[in-house]
Each structure stands twice: as structure tokens, then as C-alpha cells.
Amino acid sequence: MSISRRKFLHGLAAAGLTTVLPSTARAASQGEELATLLDLSKCIGCGACVEACKETNAHKFPRPKKPFPRMYPSRVKVFDWSDKQDVDDRLTPYNWLYIQTANVTWQGKEYEINIPRRCLHCQNPPCANLCPWGAASKQANGIVRINDKICLGGAKCKNVCPWHIPERQTGVGLYLKLLPSFAGNGVMYKCDRCFDRVAKGLIPACIEACPENVQTIGPRDEIVARAHELAKKTGGYIYGEKENGGTNTIYVSPVPFDILDQAIEKGPGRPHLSPVPNSMAREENLAMAVLAAPVAGLAAALLTGVSKVSQEKQGDKDE
């Protein structure tokens, strides 16, 4: 793509295009969280975003070496998508975005709602918090990324993600250099919100490619405000603002999400749309106890010391 056609965060914002909010470039450079708004009433399900994602991120896709090392115990399964790279109706290591479709009737009207699905980039992401290896983490701009140089493919991130988003490819990554037969099983892949493009001030490929301007990117507070405005104006519903304690992907739909959730195809690589409580809530509450424990321990030692001294003094007096 020629430079003149590449859309820059600030250039677009200045041009007043709806896909980028004016304050995005400033927010991004200040390390503020960016979020995306997806107006589902606009999506025609053309798949241009899916194609753009594949094309733009192809250089990050796995290039596994075959044959794969034998893995023990034998029940450890190989996850190989390298011969199915064209699959685009679910999430795979080679397809980080796909379109879910729901045909529904709501308040007497028929709707076809198309829902671009990918990682939601949670604000307090359990995939990153529970990664034991430091491979998954969140960037200051709200992007949650899995480092393909570090990930061992144990799939814990997928297990703890409420939508089971990350997808595994066997035969790539660091585990090959460690104990490939006994630990690890490849690398986990998912949408990285085009971190490299965003770092250069460009917008994510899927946003840029969309002919209907379904997505808008901007500082999170402004995106949330805009989502509420849109929902209010159209009588729409919101998903992603509060899910899992808050995400940086906010969907607005003319049809309630529980109805969409019933109508979409779900299963491996095809995430649901049901309500999700904050996965990290218990840890967030327990943190205070962990942090207070050292102070409490010291205080208790001092107090028992004081009471002992005073008991001894009392003893002296009694004698």
C-alpha cells in the first residue's frame, strides 16, 4: 500500500474521519488506553476486515517445522493449522478475526447482525495476569499481546480467557529449544490489535479496511461515552464495556446480546456473547490482605512485645 493511502492516527483524526477520534494520537503517545467501538448496525459482513487482518499480519503467523517433536505423554495433542491457513469462519493461529452472524427477530423485526470477533483486549486481562511465564502482557495503550518469542504454548491463557480466544500452533517457538517432548506445545496466537502499526501511528488494518466504518478507535473514556450516545440514540445495547471487569472493545447492537448469543454458532474458536463477570475480582479483593500481611505481622510482634514488657513490669510490681 502506498504511503499516501496509509491511514495515520493523527492524519485521519485531523481529517475528521469517523474511524479515529481526534484525541487518539495524543492519547496513544501519552500511553493512554485506546479502545475500539463497533457499531454492529453498520456491519454488512463483507469480510474485508478479516482479509486485511490476514494480509497485514501474515508475517507474524507461525511457520512450524515438521515433523513435530514427539510429545509425552502421548495424550498431548498436536494443534496444527498450517495446512488449514485459509479457514476464516473461526479463530485460528492464522485467523485472528472472523465474522459471526446472527439472524434474529427482535420486536417483530428481522435482523441479520454481523459481529466481527477477536480478542477484546481486557483492561485487567486474566490471560496476561495468569501467564506463568511473562509471555502475555498488556501494553500501556491497552493492547494485550502474546510474545511469540517467549510463549511455550501451554494454552493457560486460552483456558482462563472467558472467551477462550488464543489459538495454539504446535511446532513453533521457544519450547523447541527447551524440552520439546516434555513441556510446552507451540505458541498461542490472537489479535494483537496491530501493535506494530499502532506504534507507528497507523490504525489497525481491520479498521482501515472496513468500507462501512463499523469501527472507531480512540481513548477509552471517549469511546465509552460515544458508545452510550449511540446506544441511547438508536435504542441499542452494549457489550464489552463491563464484561470481564471492562474491555477495550465495545460493541453496540440494535438487538440485545443475549438474543444474539442464542443465535450465533458457538464452539472451539467461536466465542460466545454472554455476560462475563470480572475474572480477576477475587484476586483484586485478596490483594489488600496480601499487602497488609507484612505490616500486620510486624505490628503483632511489636504489640506482643509491649504486652510482655508490661506483664513483666506488672510482675515486678507484684513481687
Can you give the binding site for other proteins, defined by CB under 8 A?
A: 73, 76, 123-124, 128-135, 137-140, 145, 147, 150, 154-156, 159-160, 183, 245-246, 279-280, 282-284, 286-287, 289-291, 293-302, 304-305
Tell me if 296 sits within 8 A of 280, measured CB to CB.
no
89 binds ligand SF4 (CB under 6 A): no
> 51 to each of 8, 47, 103, 277, 290, how far by Cα in Å?
20, 6, 23, 32, 47
277 versus 297: smaller Cβ distance to ligand SF4: 277
The entry of ligand SF4, other proteins, none that residue 217 binds, CB within 5 to 8 Å by partner kind: none
Measured over all CA atoms, what is the biggest interatomic distance in the chain, rounded to whole angstroms?
96
Grid coordinates belonging to 47: 469480510
Q: Which does 101 bind (CB under 5 to 8 A by kind): other proteins, ligand SF4, none?
A: none
| Angstrom distance (rounded) from CA 144 to CA 13 | 24
Nearer to other proteins, 183 or 225 (CB): 183
Comparing CB distances to other proteins, the nearer of 48 and 150 is 150
Query: Of ligand SF4, other proteins, none, which one sits near residue 47, judging by CB under 5 to 8 A according to partner kind?
Result: ligand SF4
Q: How far apart are CA 51 and CA 56, in angstroms?
A: 9
* Cis before 73 (ω within 30): yes
| 179: partner contacted, choices other proteins, ligand SF4, none (Cβ within 5-8 A by kind) | none
In whole angstroms, the minimum distance from the beta carbon of 306 to ligand SF4 comes to 48
CB 169 within 8 A of CB 80: yes
Contact between 230 and 239 under an 8 Å Cβ cutoff? The reply is no
Q: Which stretch binds ligand SF4 (CB under 6 A): 48-56, 78-86, 228-236, 261-269?
A: 48-56
Is the CB of 27 or the CB of 43 nearer to ligand SF4?
Answer: 43
Q: Are 259 and 97 in contact (CB under 8 A)?
A: no
The amino acid at 219: P
Integer-rounded Cα radius of gyration of the chain: 24
AA identity, residue 51? E
Contact with ligand SF4 (CB under 6 A): which of 165, 227, 252, 259? 165
We find the least distance from the C-beta atom of residue 159 to ligand SF4, in angstroms, to be: 10
Retrieve residue 78's grid coordinates. 498436536
The CB-based long-range contact list for 296-299 (8 Å cut-off, 24+ gap) reads: none
Which of 27, 79, 117, 121 binds ligand SF4 (CB under 6 A)? It is: 121
Q: Which amino acid is at 224?
A: V
- Taken in order 180, 184, 185, 191, the sign of the CA dihedral is negative
Q: How far is the CB of 198 from ligand SF4 (least distance, A)?
A: 8
User: Which of the residues 225 through 254 are near ligand SF4 (CB under 6 A)?
Assistant: none
Shortest CB 193 distance to other proteins, Å: 14
Grid cell at residue 262: 442464542
> For residues 114 and 247, which CB has a smaller minimum distance to other proteins in the complex?
247
- Rounded to 5°, the CA angle 213-106-255 comes to 35
Contact with ligand SF4 (CB under 6 A) among 21, 97, 151, 176: 97
Stretch touching ligand SF4 by CB under 6 A, among 14-22, 114-122, 231-239, 256-264: 114-122
Binding site for ligand SF4 (CB under 6 A): 43-49, 52-53, 56-57, 96-97, 99, 114, 116, 118-122, 125-127, 144, 161, 163, 165-166, 190-194, 204-206, 209-210, 212, 214
